[in-house]
A and B are shown apart, each in its own frame.
Chain A
Amino acid sequence: MDCSYFRERIHHYVDGELGYLEVAELQGHLSFCPDCAAELAQMAELRGALASWGKVELAPPPGFAERVVAAAALEPAPAERTAGRVVNDVLEALDEALGRLPLPGGRTIPVKNVIGAGIAATAVLIQVERYLRRARELKPL
């Protein structure tokens, strides 16, 4: 039996993405397909182990905290408003306020990037237009 359809469905099932009818269809298949039932059980075990591993805190290498603090000490105080930080904060605030635009294929792009690209393109067009106008004006008679 070709179970590839249901094997894919198992992933959607563990992700909670199946509707009621789809769950019933999968359960019907699992009731007479021991291989797929075993795959679902192993998938559940795997996800349980991964979730448990995520709760484990690993010890970083010795001296890690000291190295981080030494690097931080070289930076300006966080509350200090340097020009770079102001620009960064504005960009991040824009990012948060404007969100992201969907693109074909399921990708998304930050709206601020689109606006930035638009401003850059406009600046280039203005320069090109100026250059062409100047070239026309300088054209010998």
Chain B
Amino acid sequence: MSTSNLHKWATLPDPTPADLAKAAAGDVDAFKTIVERYQGMVYSVAYNVLGDVTDAEDAAQEAFLRCYRKLPQYRSEAAFGTWLFRLALTASVDYQRRERRRPEPVEVPDVADQTQTELGAGITATTLVSALHDLPDDYRVPTVLRDIYGLPYQEIADLTARPLGTVKVMVHRGRASLRLRLRAEREA
């Protein structure tokens, strides 16, 4: 995975209502333009929730297939990208609940292309991704949903099927763990 093409897809045009109608009618070429436009966003959401490149690809594919099946239901009150973002989040959390059984992350895969993308306060993408990886799923998923994607706690509780209080505790512990890890790396 590489971050060298940051926002590459953001330069592609949003799908027009005609493109969406064609894709909904089963035109796979029209659907392909949608996938190419949003694959970075959907894959990033899946990767951040799941923290694993293989799982992220599976979950991102599932998100696009859900999008394909639901295209006739899309109403233009919300931006298409926002609608697809919600599908990507839901598909990723569902995947995590369904497929992931390991209690602890056991390895840090070769991710983020060791990018030195500066995220502020001297924190690089590599450092942050590595720290996120070392969090157990139970902490990482709610922390990602809360602090990367800004979801309200209640929505995280609904998505992850956990009590609200538990979700808050998990986010607090996830943040505390990340903060200590980043501080240790800074001091090292």
Q: Produce 1/0 per residue, A72-83, CB < 8 A to B.
A: 110111111000
A39 to B172, CA, bound (A): 13
Known: A42-B182, A64-B57. A77 touches B26 (CB 8 A): yes
A54 at the interface (CB under 8 A from B): yes
| Minimum Cβ distance to chain A for residue B155 (Å) | 10
CB closest chain-A residue, reference B118: A52
A60 at the interface (CB under 8 A from B): yes
Residues in B whose Cβ lies below 8 Å from that of A65: 32, 35-36, 39
A50 to B121, CA, bound (A): 11
Residues in B whose Cβ lies below 8 Å from that of A46: 123, 147, 175, 178-179, 182
Known: A69-B35, A107-B162. A60 touches B60 (CB 8 A): yes
8 Å CB interface, A1-56 against B = 8, 11, 15, 39, 42-43, 45-54, 56
Q: Produce 1/0 per residue, B56-74, CB < 8 A to A.
A: 1100110011001111110
Residues in A whose Cβ lies below 8 Å from that of B26: 76-80
A56 to B183, CA, bound (A): 23
A45 to B65, CA, bound (A): 37
Number of A-B residue pairs, CB cutoff 8 Å, is 163
Residues in B whose Cβ lies below 8 Å from that of A68: 35, 39, 60-61, 64-65
| Among A68, A72, A76, A108: residue with most chain B CB under 10 A | A68
Number of interface residues of B (CB under 8 A): 72
B3 touches A48 (CB 8 A): no
A97 at the interface (CB under 8 A from B): no
B165 at the interface (CB under 8 A from A): yes
Which of A58, A69, A105, A108 is within 8 Å of B28, CB to CB? Answer: A69
B158 at the interface (CB under 8 A from A): yes
Which of B57, B60, B65, B73 is within 8 Å of A75, CB to CB? Answer: B65
CB closest chain-B residue, reference A76: B26
A50 touches B147 (CB 8 A): yes
B188 at the interface (CB under 8 A from A): no
A49 to B181, CA, bound (A): 14
Closest 8 CB pairs of A and B: A77-B26, A57-B40, A106-B164, A45-B121, A106-B163, A54-B148, A49-B119, A60-B43
Known: A46-B178, A57-B6, A106-B165. 4 other contacts (CB 8 A): A45-B120, A45-B123, A77-B24, A105-B163
Which B residues are within 8 Å of any A CB, using their own CB? 1-10, 23-26, 28, 31-32, 35-36, 39-41, 43-44, 47-48, 53, 56-57, 60-61, 64-65, 68-73, 112, 117, 119-121, 123, 125, 128-129, 143-144, 147-150, 153-154, 157-158, 161-166, 168, 171-172, 175, 178-179, 182-183
